[in-house]
Amino acid sequence: MQDDIRMAGNSFGKIFRITTFGESHGEGVGVVIDGCPPRIPLTREDFVRDMARRRPGGTPVASPRQEADRVEIQSGVFEGITTGAPLMLFIRNQDADSRPYEVLRQVFRPGHGDYSYFKKYGHFDFRGGGRYSARETAARVAAGVVAGKILDPVGVKVMAYTVELGGVKAKDMDLSLIEKSSFFCPDMLASKKMEEIVSNVRKEGNSLGGIVEILVKGCPAGLGEPVFDKLDADLAKALMSVGTVKGVEIGAGFEAARLTGSENNDPIAPGGFRSNHAGGILGGISNGDDIVLRAALKPIPSINLEQDTIDRQGEPSKLKFTGRHDIASIPRIVPVFEAMVKIVLADHYLCAKATQSKGH
Ligand SMILES: Cc1cc2nc3c(=O)[nH]c(=O)nc-3n(C[C@H](O)[C@H](O)[C@H](O)COP(=O)(O)O)c2cc1C
């Protein structure tokens, strides 16, 4: 596969189009946003909250790598307001330690991208996971802040939270408590149990997976473009494009397969839908109800336990990987999902406006 291979797939979106760049242990990561409307007030302070919610070093679950994750606005803003020109946002890497990754010159981490990148490109920056590192998601969070500024005046609110971690499920869903939990979990009792299980698994040198739900309130009916750019198709791609995601559900999701039509259909009344198994999307177009998505996350692949692998010559090898790692992609993935959903909705909102006929 290695001859004449180029790296494609760095851009996402049609009108509000993002292109991310950078590597975990290079100069930094960033995003170019093309198609951002003019006259949106934007300063570096706008990024502080969401970047802090994603950055490592913030919680006991996350990698201790210390990154300030300050967003530099390199272009597209004049006097604190977007001009409509491409926006370039840059986040410098400050605390990269490449030493533990030297071993990856020879052997592949089971569960990670090392093996498939080697097979495809033959040469790649494996330090800190390079291009396939979750560090790239910092750029997405920055783009999500800009997308949020397009959605705010429309009244669209996007909120993500943890509903399961290491087999511990949230039962009491009090969404006002999310920011109080180290895992953005709306159930404080479950959050405490998650802390315990994470602490035990960390001592064992192992890692955990979980499930995050994303709720969109205030999305107008009519977003989504038949047939390949259906809203649910684009949202699923947006979530699936984040590392560790192995499954995406919309509304009743896999549970819908076990319902009859009369159970699954959402009865329509003059005031709206009486239930929401559809998750706010019918025929690939938003129906005005809440959009509900869930993503299933595999455990973090880099673990501190010896595992069987092979080296670049295909010979059997053993690997016990040290270095600074998250125990789970939760909680850092939570703001990444919010950002990706905002990016999709902003793109579809601008698309709907662009294709609206004047007489409508
Ligand atoms: C927020 C977040 C944090 C992550 N942290 C780590 C980490 O510390 N160490 C690691 O090996 N993988 C980490 N990952 C997972 C890898 O990026 C991912 O598993 C890898 O690129 C392989 O891709 P795949 O899981 O989609 O197959 C993280 C992922 C996310 C989304």
CB of 137 closer than 6 A to ligand 1?
A: yes
For the segment 182-224, what is each residue's pLDDT rounded down to a tens digit? 999 999 999 999 999 999 999 999 999 999 999 999 999 999 9
- Out of 244, 321, 325, mutate this one to test ligand 1's pocket (max ligand atoms within 8 Å of CB): namely 244
| Residue 359 clears pLDDT 90, i.e. is over it | no
Task: Give 360's pLDDT tier (boundaries 50, 70, 90).
Answer: very low
Task: Give 254's pLDDT tier (boundaries 50, 70, 90).
Answer: very high
| Residue 160 clears pLDDT 50, i.e. is over it | yes
Element (H, E) at 22: strand 17-22
Distance separating alpha carbons of residues 10 and 37, to the nearest angstrom: 21
Distance separating alpha carbons of residues 292 and 121, to the nearest angstrom: 37
What is the C-alpha radius of gyration for the chain, rounded to an integer number of angstroms? Answer: 21
Cα 57 to its chain centre, rounded Å, is 18
Cα-to-centroid distance, 343 and ligand 1 (Å): 21
Query: How many helices, marked H, and strands, marked E, lie in the chain?
Result: 7, 18
pTM value surpassing 0.95 = yes
| Residue 96 clears pLDDT 90, i.e. is over it | no
For the segment 124-148, what is each residue's pLDDT rounded down to a tens digit? 888 888 899 999 999 999 999 999 9
For the segment 261-297, what is each residue's pLDDT rounded down to a tens digit? 999 999 999 999 999 999 999 999 999 999 999 999 9
CB of 113 closer than 6 A to ligand 1?
A: yes
CB of 112 closer than 6 A to ligand 1?
A: yes
Cα 345 to its chain centre, rounded Å, is 14
Residue whose token pair is 């597209």:
76
CB of 329 closer than 6 A to ligand 1?
A: yes
For the segment 57-91, what is each residue's pLDDT rounded down to a tens digit? 767 677 877 888 999 999 999 999 999 999 999 99
Distance separating alpha carbons of residues 350 and 18, to the nearest angstrom: 14
CB of 135 closer than 6 A to ligand 1?
A: no
For the segment 314-345, what is each residue's pLDDT rounded down to a tens digit? 999 999 988 889 999 999 999 999 999 999 99
